[in-house]
Amino acid sequence: MKILLIVGDGMADRPLKELGGLTPLEAAKPMNMDRLATSGISGFMNALSLGVAPGSDVANLAILGYDPHRVYTGRGGFEAVGAGIELRDDDLAFRCNFATIDSAFNVLDPRAGRIGDEARELTEALGDIRLKSAPNIQVIFKHTLGFRGVLVLRGEGLSEKIELKAPEAGLKIDDIRPTDDSEGAKLTAEILREFVKETYRILRDHPINRRRRGRGLPPANAIIPWGVGRRPHLKSFRELYGLRGACVAAVSLIKGICRLADMTVIEVRGATGDVDTDTLAKAEAAIEALEKHDLVFLHVEGPDEASHDGDLEGKLTIIRKIDAMIGKIMSHISLDEACIALMADHTTSLRLRRHTADPTPISIAYAEALRDDVQHYSEREALRGGLGRIKGIEVMPMLMNIIGRAEKFGL
Amino acid sequence: MKILLIVGDGMADRPLKELGGLTPLEAAKPMNMDRLATSGISGFMNALSLGVAPGSDVANLAILGYDPHRVYTGRGGFEAVGAGIELRDDDLAFRCNFATIDSAFNVLDPRAGRIGDEARELTEALGDIRLKSAPNIQVIFKHTLGFRGVLVLRGEGLSEKIELKAPEAGLKIDDIRPTDDSEGAKLTAEILREFVKETYRILRDHPINRRRRGRGLPPANAIIPWGVGRRPHLKSFRELYGLRGACVAAVSLIKGICRLADMTVIEVRGATGDVDTDTLAKAEAAIEALEKHDLVFLHVEGPDEASHDGDLEGKLTIIRKIDAMIGKIMSHISLDEACIALMADHTTSLRLRRHTADPTPISIAYAEALRDDVQHYSEREALRGGLGRIKGIEVMPMLMNIIGRAEKFGL
């Protein structure tokens, strides 16, 4: 028996007034998710613990069975590895956003209007960046997907002791500050501020940005690093579970986690990490991957992005697209051959536009399941599911038990 | 108020196709268990933690309130003490099976067709076993019940660092191997292999085995040790809870746990540790024991044995016999005087023929119970019981609270 683990990033939500008190999952009426819930057993999950809002990094680590309290070394490391950079132990890595800032270096739009492929061209304009504040530090920037990129600083004397918030409107570049008195922290903060200013210098009048302004779009006139991290070290998935694992995901964070776990990372044409992603292509990739692997981790980023934008229509759209993806999968995969587990890694509140600690629904369908009477995959019905309350770190042991490969203690 | 704790070993199961998607507990329609569930509050229990499949040894330890991670020193120690052997700290103890092997020392039937009393006579034929590989090591073998026995090795230089799987068809005697490079481990592995060969030499042409062959039954032509262990040390039950405890059980493992906990171990005529056990005699013994004790631990091994054999009829039969046992008990004991807790120590999947980590139903009936709306003692109904999800180690504290003797913290 095999395992298909499906995560809709930030898919869970709170009841919304504009939906008459329904959540987006309830309002979208996702019939295939409901069929999955009806064919299995459901419950509600906190990726970490009750009352702790997880980042996508630690939530997905926990779901794959890696205790974030032990392995988490900051987001940047996962992102850089996911972007294909051979990260060294001494490197400092950062997630980056193409953003819109003003001439006083205040963030106006943290995602530059969700710029797409144009960011690739802007990246080419950057060339080799050399910084006055640290001529011996190598600066490696790589564009990944849409408004996203990664930055790696390589060289001596760097420190991760810096304050670096995820960019949002109102953030100032001067907010990049050392959090201790070390020379390394001061130097690193200076490098990062100079990096932002340097990208602004190069990008502000780039033809693409002139064109964007002309069309009333926010220019991607700077690159903002955040999520500092060191290279993480994960036990290989195969060593941990004896399973051949594969990953179908668009975003570098998830690819990085899976690459570090030595899973096969499958690239899918049309996977954008956004609401416009091609979920049916991802379904096909997952179905195919399941032929040669024991576990496939299928991750869809879109719901989280729509929630951070407060984009209700977008969230409903991507939920329905994930539902179609699940429909395609369920018409190809028998629940005798594989168990299919569906969950959100965390709740992203559309109203608050951020992650919350609300538990998220999880449904696990397989032929031998003790079916409960949950009829819908939703936050509300999950609360009376037979699984009860579980934690992210318990998901993999539960799935291993379902396929008859539970850890044993005693005789 | 007193406590009657009833464990049906491996009684819980998964839905089975041959039962139209019901579990054996659901299909058996055990009316007295259902009455017990209706008279109390139910929930689902993992003896250890979610996703870990427990052996019967650690599961029953946990249910009695002994943390297996602290007290477990291997199965053999409990078995030997349960068989009445005065185990010393330096001894190595093993559970043994009378088995059927071929002349190349491959296991053909790990339980020799579930041989019964004949194993007692075969044991007499063994006499004093002396081994060439270790003339100074004392070899103590004792038959216990049916196909079961225990082996104790006494003397210097022994080591528990040996690989010893529970016997199943296909196991080779050469699979008994040291797991480290120590002389003790090499010696112990050699002793065990010689022990098996020596029992084969003595037993293969024994008249009983000739007779068995003549009747088309597998001969019990060798004894296979497994479950290596040292002498465990448990705090006495009385010291731990202030309760006079008694145990009604057939198998040495459970007797050993209870003897080490300084509980009264009651021998019951007709208790076989198998499907053919006399559950009504056990009911009588438990009712009587409850007069002079505060807690009686009533354990029935049969469901686990039937499950390991893939014997569906046997599992249904023993569940119905346990149901009759509970009926007898409930007609003699008032829920004002005692709380009755019914559980399985773990799930044994009849299909997989092994223990799984699936949670097991637990129902606790007592006059003051906050009755939920669970109507049946079953895996499925337990999932919506008022107790929710609990762990084995939480059972005794809960029962102590019910009888008004909870541990206190603060004033």
Residues A223, A149 contacting (CB under 8 angstroms): yes
Phi, psi of A392 (to 5 degrees): -55, -40
Is there a contact between B68 and A384 if contact means CB atoms under 8 Å apart?
no
For residues A304-329, give the mean pLDDT. 97
Q: Is residue A406 exposed (0-12), middle (13-18) or buried (19+ Cβ within 10 Å)?
A: buried
For residues B284-296, give the mean pLDDT. 98
Helices B312-332 and B31-38 meet at what angle, rounded to 10?
50
Which residue, chain included where needed, has tokens 């579930």? B114
Does the CB of A169 have a partner CB in chain B at under 8 Å? no
For residue A52, give how far its alpha carbon lies from the nearest alpha carbon of chain B (Å): 21
**What's the pLDDT score for residue B411?**
86
Is there a contact between B380 and A389 if contact means CB atoms under 8 Å apart?
no
Q: ∠ CA(A151), CA(A156), CA(A158), 5° rounding?
A: 55
Q: What are the structure tokens assigned to A36, written together?
A: 């999955």
**What's the pLDDT score for residue A261?**
98
Measured distance CA(B63)–CA(B297) in Å, rounded = 10
Residues A370, A386 contacting (CB under 8 angstroms): yes
Which tens digit of pLDDT belongs to each residue from A21-62? 999 999 999 999 999 999 999 999 999 999 999 999 999 999
Which tens digit of pLDDT belongs to each residue from A89-102? 999 999 999 999 99
Helices B312-332 and B279-292 meet at what angle, rounded to 10?
30
Nearest to A406 among B15, B51, B59 (CB): B51
**What's the pLDDT score for residue B262?**
97
Is there a contact between A386 and B388 if contact means CB atoms under 8 Å apart?
no
Q: Which of residues 70-99 of B touch A (CB under 8 A)?
A: 72, 75, 95
Q: In the predicted model, is pLDDT for residue B165 greater than 90?
A: no
What's the mean per-residue pLDDT of chain A?
A: 96
Phi, psi of B149 (to 5 degrees): -155, 180
Q: In the predicted model, is pLDDT for residue B324 greater than 90?
A: yes
Q: In the predicted model, is pLDDT for residue B290 greater than 90?
A: yes
Q: In the predicted model, is pLDDT for residue B287 greater than 90?
A: yes
Percent of chain B residues topping a pLDDT of 70: 100
Which residue, chain included where needed, has tokens 């049946």? B376
**What's the pLDDT score for residue B117?**
87
Nearest to A404 among B52, B75, B352 (CB): B352
**What's the pLDDT score for residue B395?**
98
Q: Is residue A264 exposed (0-12), middle (13-18) or buried (19+ Cβ within 10 Å)?
A: middle
Q: Is residue B106 exposed (0-12), middle (13-18) or buried (19+ Cβ within 10 Å)?
A: middle
Q: In the predicted model, is pLDDT for residue A166 greater than 90?
A: no
Pairing of strands A2-8, A295-300: parallel
Q: pLDDT band for position B135 (50/70/90)?
A: very high
The number of angstroms, rounded, from the C-alpha of B125 to the middle of its chain's C-alpha atoms is: 27
3-state secondary structure A170-182: CCEHHHCEECCCC
B278 Rama class: left (phi>0) / alpha (psi -120 to 50) / beta? beta
Which tens digit of pLDDT belongs to each residue from B177-215? 999 999 999 999 999 999 999 999 999 999 999 999 999
Measured distance CA(A87)–CA(A78) in Å, rounded = 10
Chain A hits for B227, Cβ within 8 Å = 411
Selected residue of B23, B347, B351, B356 to mutate for chain A interface (largest A Cβ count, 10 A) = B356
**What's the pLDDT score for residue B350?**
98
Does the CB of A390 have a partner CB in chain B at under 8 Å? yes
**What's the pLDDT score for residue B155?**
95
Which residue, chain included where needed, has tokens 């907010």? A175
Does the CB of A67 have a partner CB in chain B at under 8 Å? no
The secondary structure of B204-222 as a DSSP string is TT-HHHHHHHHTTPPP--E
**What's the pLDDT score for residue A219?**
97
E strand residue ranges, A238-393:
245-248, 264-266, 295-300, 338-343, 347-349, 354-356, 360-365, 388-391
Q: In the predicted model, is pLDDT for residue A117 greater than 90?
A: no
Nearest to B58 among A396, A400, A409 (CB): A409
* A403 secondary structure, DSSP code: T
**What's the pLDDT score for residue B343?**
98
Say whether B198 sits in a helix, a strand or coil: helix
Q: pLDDT band for position B388 (50/70/90)?
A: very high
Does the CB of A334 have a partner CB in chain B at under 8 Å? no
Helices B395-402 and B56-63 meet at what angle, rounded to 10?
30
Q: pLDDT band for position B286 (50/70/90)?
A: very high
Helices A31-38 and A312-332 meet at what angle, rounded to 10?
50
- Of B373, B359, B112, the closest CA to residue A394 belongs to B359
Which tens digit of pLDDT belongs to each residue from A349-405? 999 999 999 999 999 999 999 999 999 999 999 999 999 999 999 999 999 999 999
Q: Which amino acid belongs to residue A378?
A: S
What's the mean per-residue pLDDT of chain B?
A: 96
Q: pLDDT band for position A165 (50/70/90)?
A: confident
For residues B94-119, give the mean pLDDT. 95
Q: ∠ CA(B254), CA(B260), CA(B264), 5° rounding?
A: 75
Q: In the predicted model, is pLDDT for residue B289 greater than 90?
A: yes
